[in-house]
Structure 1
Amino acid sequence: MEFHGVLVASPGMGHAVPILELGKRLLNHHGFERVTVFLVTDDVSRSRSLIGKTLTEKDPKFVIRFIQLDVSGQDLSGSLLTKLAVMMRKALPQIRSAVMGLELHPSVFIVDLLGTEALAVAKELEITKKHVLVTTSAWFLALTVYMASLDKETLYKHLSSRGALLIPGCSPVKFDRVQDPGNYVRELAESQRIGAEVLTADGVFVNTWHDVEPVTIRSFLDPKNLCRVMRGVPVYHVGPLVRPAEPELKHDVLEWLDLQPKESVVYVSFGSGGALTADQTIELANGLELSGHRFVWVVRPPAEDDPSASMFDKTKNQTEPLDFLPEGFIDRTKNMGLVVRTWAPQEEILAHESTGGFVTHCGWNSVLESIVNGVPMIAWPLYSEQKMNAWMVSEELKIASRVNVGDGIVKKEEIVEMVKRVMDDEEGKEMRKNVKELKKTAEEALKKPNIPSLYFTQN
């Protein structure tokens, strides 16, 4: 049988990268004759530039196409989850048309967690196998499907208390106190919908591996725990799905890193969507300067009301003045740090031997890239499931130090303390040891992909 896989990613590099890497894996190791990847975006040129060299690898068997959305006039208020859910819902007619227009009818359809409504399109088009790729943790999948198993009143009760949602067989999820869950009706409704739609798939792939989440993975296999919640839909850990660093890539940042001592540089980036307030940006700058450590900082303009503002920012920010930084900061730190506007080659920076720590928003893609390169983290979550990820890497895996984001602005003194803890202290040495051990398990996981032969012919 000739396998043709169609994969669909919702907006954002945290969704596009794992989908692209899964597509490559299907083509190279699982007997697929062709893979077509559809990337939903509101800005094709920006998405194309962020993906980079992936698009220059010409292969008639691996096709990448963009589904351009016009979101002008759309209600994109609320959380990032609701924004992306609205965008993916709007994209459904274009997804249907794009799949129908393919020369070779697909036999396998895979969509990420925020695009589960497209499973109905795959069913309508009589695609044989329909799957969901969870581009974040198995723990977040557990939360999503378990929320869908609860009625609204029970869920609201949990959110209104200071307690935690006790998920069968895995770590509980603690909620910030919510006085009025009615303020989150849209987000909760979308989450429960997604969880219910996951159960209509033939299987679920998760971008993780056993050594990262052994307890949660066991729960999905246990008929008394999450396996029962899944109602027979199998869950497979297929990670880490991260883009490998390009060894010959040329970039000013990498040339600067070549001149620095081994494991001496702190890399600071809040992902392709993260944004800090103006006051927080100043505190971070002052903290980096006072720490005395070398740094590479990917800087974006501040945003006051939306920590995910950069996700839909159309400005390139390559020539704008950096007047939101403290006066004289660039000059004072020119011998110890490098400020980069908007974007830097993250995979290559983390893979560089001079990089010794990573200040990250804890998007799952960034977490996995840090692990596969053996770099300990300073966990600074901003939105979405990032608080869960930050708790996991700091409390469970012991590969990160977590900043206290609950009290508003993270002060420069705490930033100095966090940097020194990871880069200098015994605690940081233990984190470094732990993450390097976890890196070895990632390498082993890549050698033994957990994609089931039940569905696909494996080489």
Structure 2
Amino acid sequence: MNNRDSMAKTTHIAAISIPAFSHQASIVEFCKRLVHLHHHFHVTCIFPTIDAPLPATLTLLKSLPSNINYTFLPPINKKDLPEDAPSAVQIQLAVSKSMPHFQQALGSLLSTMSLVALIADPFANEALEIAKEFKLLSYIYFPPSAMTLSLFLHLPALHQQVSCEYRDHKEAIEIPGCVPIQGRDLPEHFQNRSSLAYKLILERCKRLSLAHGFLVNSFSKVEEGSERALQEHNRANSTNSNNSGVYLIGPIVQTGSSNEPKGSECVKWLENQKANSVLYVSFGSGGTLSQKQINELAFGLELSGEKFLWVVRAPSDSADGAYVGASSDDPLQFLPNGFLERTKGSGFVLPSWAPQTQILGHVSTGGFLTHCGWNSALESIVLGVPMVAWPLFAEQRTNAVLLTEGLKVALRPKFNDHGIAEREEIAKVVKGLMVGEEGDLIRGRIEKLRDAAAEALEEHGSSTRALYQFGTQMESFVGHS
């Protein structure tokens, strides 16, 4: 498929992300795949920033192929953003403030090359209006699931249909092509309809119809129903004559940076454990727990008697506390007294960060307690690791419903009325996943999905075909304009 004429004229594309590492990493990996398949494509990635570029992104950008460039927009000062706003709101406001700079950057690119299209993150979709002014084709690259995209496209209608807070809505909410979902499991930005967060998300959802098409980080076998519903919605509602549809082009996951130390301490520790015996515990690049919940999780892991490898962060009252400003405190000081000594033989605790793909890919890792960020969920599927679903913020509750009720590849602990998962419940769910009968069934299902994910990315697989079709469709529009 990719034996294209090497003399083909270069096709220039711009891409814009948001100042959140998980989104930046995802769009960079997508661009790498795009230029690998369409050799004559050239992409310029544009990154809005808060204060300064993210160090993890700078590391990632060191390994770009020659046909991907990048530029950072002038930073937005964090002091100019509302201090008490959730990080998702701060990020979106920073992107809005960056739009004049983005317009200049796009104009500058157009003065030096014949740019044909813009690919935008859904939370930077004000850029679609600027693309329209410049007469560019525009697409959304959607890092979360197809279920979440279906929900976003359905939100303006849902907003009219439901008058109360979604969490108080008695019936399950039906999203086209998706497993029914309780209102409390809709994304956190939906949970207070009078908030700025909800107003921003509703605006962005209404603006999605400006896009000529959608590139979704998922694959057909994992979200067949959502894919069909999205195609139907797109045909019925598109305002664009150049509409080119919905492409499931994933799973796009980080393959692990070449800068990661291969023999890190935790990997050495894993070498000495039995196959499938270790539960990996991590809440992603932004997730944090309260002090009370850290205590309960520690005691729960200890009580389970199972082996664990835990990435610990300093506590925060905000579930996404590590997103915009990580704590400089040593996280290990917040663990219960004596915990490290008591679990010395059975547990390995790391402060703040771990080489996730190396750990999930290790033969000793048999489970993953995850915050259900879509990047992490996909990594777990790609590497065939059963999950404990512990959503914290953003659309993670929605992902948890897909993983537990739709795909049935995860167990989900119950939380008490104060929003805390207690130690006995944690121990029960951990044992259920690692050594229980239900855990065995989950392992069988996720291994089938692992194989389907690998097939989707093969030369004639569904995702490779979709990405190929996207490129040729886009060029046919350009050719006819």
* Shift of residue 244, structure 1, vs aligned partner: 1.6
Letter in 1 for 2:95: M
- Deviation digits for residues 302-335 of structure 1, max 9, x if unmatched? 112x111110124455xx2622110011122122
Alignment of 1:61-100 (within 5 A): 61-67=67-73, 68-75=75-82, 77-100=84-107
- Identify the match of residue 411 of structure 1 among 399, 405, 422: 422
Match of 1:117 in 2: 126
- Deviation digits for residues 399-458 of structure 1, max 9, x if unmatched? 10011236321011111111111110111011111111101111111123212221158x
Report the aligned-residue RMSD. Answer: 2.5
Match of 1:273 in 2: 286
Q: Secondary structure at the match of 1:444?
A: helix
- TM-score (ref. length: structure 2): 0.86
Match of 1:228 in 2: 236
The reply to whether residue 166 of structure 1 matches residue 147 of structure 2 is no
- TM-score (ref. length: structure 1): 0.90
Q: Secondary structure at the match of 2:227?
A: helix
Letter in 1 for 2:423: K
Alignment of 1:12-411 (within 5 A): 12-42=20-50, 44=52, 47-49=54-56, 52=59, 54-57=60-63, 59-67=65-73, 68-75=75-82, 77-102=84-109, 103-127=112-136, 129-150=137-158, 152-157=159-164, 159=166, 160-176=168-184, 184-222=194-232, 227-230=235-238, 233=243, 234-245=245-256, 249-304=262-317, 306-317=318-329, 320=330, 322-405=332-415, 407=417, 408-411=419-422
For residues 185 and 227 of structure 2, what CA distance do their matches in structure 1 show? 28
Between 26-35 and 268-277, the greater mean CA deviation after superposition: 26-35
Distance change >3 Å, CA 279–CA 80, structure 1 → 2: same
Letter in 2 for 1:303: S
In the alignment, structure 1 segments of 5+ residues that lack a partner are: none
For residues 315 and 176 of structure 1, what CA distance do their matches in structure 2 show? 29
Between 307-316 and 152-161, the greater mean CA deviation after superposition: 152-161
Letter in 2 for 1:95: F
Q: Secondary structure at the match of 1:11?
A: coil
- Deviation digits for residues 339-360 of structure 1, max 9, x if unmatched? 1111111111111111110000
Spell out structure 1 runs of 4+ moving beyond 6 A: none
* Shift of residue 40, structure 1, vs aligned partner: 2.8
* Shift of residue 89, structure 1, vs aligned partner: 0.7
* Shift of residue 293, structure 1, vs aligned partner: 1.6
The reply to whether residue 438 of structure 1 matches residue 449 of structure 2 is yes
Q: Is the 8 A contact 1:162 1:176 kept in 2?
A: no
Letter in 1 for 2:80: G
Q: Is the 8 A contact 1:246 1:348 kept in 2?
A: no
Distance change >3 Å, CA 330–CA 387, structure 1 → 2: same
For residues 376 and 139 of structure 1, what CA distance do their matches in structure 2 show? 20
Distance change >3 Å, CA 139–CA 339, structure 1 → 2: same
For residues 213 and 112 of structure 1, what CA distance do their matches in structure 2 show? 20
Q: Is the 8 A contact 2:209 2:238 kept in 1?
A: yes
Distance change >3 Å, CA 107–CA 379, structure 1 → 2: same
* Shift of residue 392, structure 1, vs aligned partner: 0.8
* Shift of residue 177, structure 1, vs aligned partner: 10
The reply to whether residue 427 of structure 1 matches residue 451 of structure 2 is no
- Deviation digits for residues 61-90 of structure 1, max 9, x if unmatched? 222333333221312544444333212111
Q: Secondary structure at the match of 2:457?
A: helix
Number of aligned positions between the proteins: 447
- Deviation digits for residues 372-405 of structure 1, max 9, x if unmatched? 0000000000112111100111111111001123
Letter in 2 for 1:197: R
Letter in 2 for 1:284: L
Q: Secondary structure at the match of 2:334?
A: coil
Q: Is the 8 A contact 1:137 1:207 kept in 2?
A: yes
Distance change >3 Å, CA 300–CA 94, structure 1 → 2: same
Residue identity (%): 34
